[in-house]
Amino acid sequence: MKRLSRLSVIALGALLSTAAVPALVVSGVATQAHAATLSGGFDVGPGGFQGNFNPLAATAGFTWLSVYYEPLITYDEKLQKVVGALASSYEVSSDQMTYTFKLADAKWHDDKPFTAKDAKFTMGLAMDAKTGSVLAARLKGISSVETPDNRTVVIKLSAPSSSFPDTMTKVMMLPEHALSSIPADQLAKNTWWSTAPIGTGPFKFTKYVSDQYVELAANTDYRGGKPALERVINRYFANPAAAIAALRSGEIQFTYVDSNDVPTFKDNKDFQVIEGNSFVVNYLGFNHDSPLWKDVRVRQAVMYAINRDAIIQSLYGGAAKPANCAYVADQLIPPDIDSYAYDPEKAKQLLTEAGWDQINGGKPITLLTYYTTPLATNVLAAVQAMLAQVGINIVPRAVDAPTYNSIVLNATPDIAQFQLVYAGLQNGPDAGSINVGLNEKQIPPAGPNVARVRMPDLTKALDSALAEPDSAKRDAAYQDVCKVMNTNLPWATLWVANRYGIVSTKVKDFVWTPAPGGGPYQANPQKWSIAE
């Protein structure tokens, strides 16, 4: 008995002292990162794809991947034109079917030279679905990849495709000498990606601590010059609020933020707000398999009933542009399209003409969405109220993305579950990317045309724009797409919102562009630097 109580006293003492130790060390440990190290939440937000370092499997996350891997070609910093990266130059034949890439004099991180054989090997991996490549279908149009010499790669297509350069910016070059011995179907499971990957970029992979951070060290031999920073660290955050907390406490110097978090940083001299186009058009997608939306006057009424300017001003703080087709870029919009200015009276009149009382009347209509942010909830509440005023009774239902996908991509879906969707689709920098959501040939299970849009005029306009080799004529062709969308209203297009990054003002020459999927684009990480 005596021994036991003495033991418990000792145990209590030990516990108390463990509790006291942390309190003593707290003041001694610095929270600031080393100088010459830039830490950021590079994969936070819609452009990120946390935890997977395999560029063949990446649908997003290129902001980070392109710090150590490089594609042959990439977008410029403004996402306006495609420029050379690992290819010092490239040429396109007049029929738009042969692409010739001249390779730069580059080295892998293990000092072996980068050659045309590596490029051909990478294309082989990216075109082979067995490797887990998410690009395989997009590269199906390739008929051959040839390497006439060590510094030249010639890619031939079976038909011209204006989207080919855009796809090529996402093919990160991989070293044949490190990966050729791994069978294609085992490649995705190989630990190489998260332990010892090598690329040709300005930084080398040094360490990954599962779900905590990745550390890269400067590649002092980089052909674009020795990097100014010693290290770049990408931290992972399970929760966006945690990323903002880390930014404000000085533990990281950069992260993506939602537009509602911008005001807290706007007048703070320690931070710079980076603003840019999201390239994602938000829309109400009418399910064209539903009898509710057959009459174009009903779809027009939805456009007239929503006060988009009010929503943009009050909920987005002005940081969005109204969209009257899938695009907001000037060169893609014909001058004479309808702007569908807010007009609830006209909406009511159109609904009366169409006989809305007989079609549906006040019965509730399920609106499905995968947007679960507070902003989206507010937007939908406003849209619900505005549509109710003209007699359309929608009920928003927000689910997570996998649930949404499983409902809308189903080959034989239950129409009652999604008579209407609130969604977004990327509309740039390659204007052709909108095709998958609107072309009749892309109706599930063939593709992601979830609104089941069956409009021959639109399909024809999209097909001819995609096949148009001349870039000036291509813009005109996309104007046709815009015009058809504006008249036939496959979707009630709403707006294209801006995206925001916040960077510490201590960081110099930093480039971040709010690109779909994170880019890639010319970010020049070798030039980034940080003040002490």
Restricting to residues 232-261, name those near other proteins by CB under 8 A. 233, 235-239, 241-242, 245-246, 248-251
Q: Smaller CB distance to other proteins: residue 229 or 386?
A: 229
- Contact in structure between 532 and 233 (CB atoms under 8 Å): no
Compare residues 113 and 444 and give the one whose CB is closer to other proteins: 444
In whole angstroms, give the CA distance from residue 301 to residue 306.
Answer: 9
CA distance 326 to 444: 20
Of residues 71-130, those binding other proteins (CB under 8 A): 129-130
Applying the rule CB under 8 A, the residues between 492 and 531 that interact with other proteins are 516-517
Rounded to the nearest whole angstrom, what is the least distance from the CB of residue 246 to other proteins in the complex?
A: 5
Min dist CB 257 to other proteins, Å, is 14
The answer to whether residue 34 forms part of the interface with other proteins (CB under 8 A) is yes
Dist. CA 380–CA 306, nearest whole Å: 11
CB nearer to other proteins: pick between 45 and 501: 45
Choice from 3, 21, 269, 330 touching other proteins (CB under 8 A): 21
The residues that bridge with 155 in the sheet, in sequence order, are 99, 145
**C-beta of 194: minimal distance to other proteins in Å?**
5
Considering only 13-21, 319-327, 451-459, 492-500, which stretch makes contact with other proteins by CB under 8 A?
Answer: 13-21
Over the window 54 to 73, marking each residue x when it contacts other proteins by CB under 8 A and - when it does not, the resulting string is x--x-xx-------------
Please tell me the distance from the alpha carbon of residue 157 to that of residue 143, in angstroms, as a whole number.
Answer: 5
Smallest distance from other proteins to CB 112, Å: 22
Nearer of residues 83 and 129 to other proteins, judged by Cβ: 129
- CB atoms under 10 Å from CB of 263, counted, come to 10
Of 425, 391, 208, the C-alpha closest to 216 is 208
- Range 312-341, binding other proteins (CB under 8 A): none
Nearer to other proteins, 340 or 422 (CB): 422
- Pick 447 or 469: Cβ nearer other proteins: 447
Residue 123, CA distances (Å) to 82, 145, 359, 526 in order: 19, 8, 52, 26
CA-to-CA separations, 112 to 198, 221, 459, 491, in angstroms, rounded: 10, 12, 48, 51
Of 3, 25, 94, 339, the one binding other proteins (CB under 8 A) is 25
Contact with other proteins (CB under 8 A) among 7, 15, 341, 385: 15
DSSP 513: -
Q: Within positions 364 to 403, which residues make up the interface with other proteins, using CB under 8 A?
A: 370, 399-403
Would you give the distance in Å from CA 265 to the centre of its chain?
23
Give the x-and-dash track for 177-216 against other proteins (CB under 8 A): --------x--xxxxxxx--------------xxxxx-x-
Interaction with other proteins in 406-465: which residues (CB under 8 A)?
A: 406-407, 409, 423-426, 433, 436-437, 444-448
Nearest of 351, 348, 247, 239 to residue 298 by alpha carbon: 351
Distance between CA 34 and CA 24 in Å, rounded?
23
472 binds other proteins (CB under 8 A): no
Q: How far is the CB of 135 from other proteins (least distance, A)?
A: 8
| Sole binder of other proteins in the list 51, 148, 263, 318 (CB under 8 A) | 51
Tokens of 352: 């009366």
C-alpha radius of gyration, the chain, whole number: 26
